Amino acid sequence: MNRQTLLTHAKVVFPDGVAENSAILIEDGIIVAIEPVKSGATTIIDLSGHILMPGMLDLHCDALEKEVEPRPNVHFPLNFACSQADKRNAMAGVTTVFHALSFAHHEFGVRNNQFAAEIAHAIHDWQQHALVENRVHARCEVTDTSAPEILAGLIDKNQIHLLSFMDHTPGQGQFKDVAAYRNYLAGSYKKTEEELDDLLQRKLANVQGTEELIRQLAKKARAHGIPLASHDDDSPERVGVMAELGVSISEFPVNMETARTAKSLGIATLFGAPNVLRGASQSGSMRALDAVLQGVADCLCGDYSAAALLPAVFKLAELSGYELQDMVALVTRNPARAAGLLDRGEIVVGRRADLIAVKQFGGLPQVERVWVRGQAVFSAHTNRLPCYAQQPALQEGVSLC
């Protein structure tokens, strides 16, 4: 039996504009009609006062690492961490998330090869219980000679969905300042000066030793249809090298010239939503707002906070003067296309019914309903009055809440 759901009276964000008081018909997880003349819908949901938009796709969010390791050397069970990250993404309106896992053998905490591989397996195993679609974004540190073999094994098991190449060698990219890199590692992992010296020396020694390994890994990923990304590109020359590897996404280009070069080569650019909310990059790179204003931003990602995506979209629409549907595309259609997921990211007949209903309170957008493949996975009522405002005055020590 076909299962139909009719979403009515919504302000709908379509690819080419926003329509007031519109209706969407869903059948068996697919959008089958816009403004249907009639339907046999078994479920009718009135979305008056809501904005209905596609579910968001987050190509790079490493918040799962914090779910696994909330404090240095304090680890939660992986199924628990995956379940918590899954729920947080549903609440944030992210219906497809690429969990960014760092494969960097000599780094600390969860950012080493064996632990990262275990988390990748856990993401795969948890998906059968998940609310949203959880995917693996494997981040390969190019100075690590042991990562490519482990990543190749995960590719063979179909447990990698996006592969990026990063170079955290101090003196370039995100960490042009060596002292800043030391401070980052010391603050994040509470390591001694001697341990930091050892790590930096190994990174510098391995810079030239992994080029062929990386080329072979990139070739294997392409053969399996896995999109490739580069991380913290800091020059047009660097973008050119990445393009030769087959990279189609440039994550966090650090300056305008590099971002423009990526665009000219047909490489999608990606910036962090927290950068939008904070008004600045945490590492001193370019502002995401400037990238949007200059037309060199294709996608936004959660980076370290999935919750930042939705408010960043609305803030950009306010600050940039661009139409809402164009800013929504930064977190829906554009990342879907960059990842090769052409079945989602737009409210169009034939697309997957990954949808979110949003309300604004005090200028802040809040997710109230989420559907994945047409199935309701999250619902909240953010406009409820607090308990003390609903109840009549009671004698001291008595509560109805």
The one-letter amino acid code at 158 reads N
Let me know if residue 343 belongs to a domain: no
Predicted confidence (pLDDT) per residue in 360-375, tens digit: 998 899 999 999 999 9
Band of residue 282 on the pLDDT scale cut at 50, 70, 90: confident
Residues in the chain: 401
CATH label of the domain that carries residue 48 = 2.30.40.10
Indicate the angle between helix axes 193-206 and 178-189, nearest 10 degrees. 130
Let me know if residue 395 belongs to a domain: no
Write a three-state SS string for 245-271.
HCCCEEECCCCHHHHHHHHHCCCEEEE
DSSP symbol at 298: -
Provide the pLDDT for residue 72: 87
Q: Does 173 share its domain with 256?
A: yes
Predicted confidence (pLDDT) per residue in 131-158, tens digit: 999 999 999 998 888 899 999 999 999 9
Q: Tokens 């549903």, residue?
A: 90
DSSP symbol at 217: H
Provide the pLDDT for residue 37: 86
Please give the full DSSP string across 39-74, using - where no structure is assigned: ---SEEEE-TT-EEEEPEEEEEE-HHHHHH-SBTTB
Let me know if residue 21 belongs to a domain: yes
Give the whole-angstrom CA distance, residue 361 versus residue 147: 46
Q: How many domains does the chain have?
A: 2
Q: Does 43 share its domain with 91?
A: no
Instruction: Classify the C-alpha dihedral 376-378-382-385 as positive or negative.
Output: positive
Structure tokens at 78: 């992986």
Give the whole-angstrom CA distance, residue 113 versus residue 140: 9
Provide the pLDDT for residue 390: 44
Structure tokens at 319: 């600050």
Task: Say if CB 116 and CB 160 are below 8 A apart.
Answer: no
Task: Say if CB 316 and CB 292 are below 8 A apart.
Answer: yes
Least confident of 128-137, 179-188, 239-248: 179-188
Q: Does 96 share its domain with 203?
A: yes
More confident position, 397 or 152: 152
Predicted confidence (pLDDT) at residue 264 exceeds the cutoff of 70: yes
Read off the pLDDT of each residue in 74-80 and give the average, rounded to a whole number: 97
Contacts of 241 (CB under 8 A, 6+ apart): none
Which residue range(s) make up the domain with 181?
55-338
According to DSSP, the residues that pair with 104 across neighbouring strands are none
Q: Does 175 share its domain with 97?
A: yes
Q: Does 153 share its domain with 17?
A: no
Let me know if residue 316 belongs to a domain: yes
CATH label of the domain that carries residue 197 = 3.20.20.140
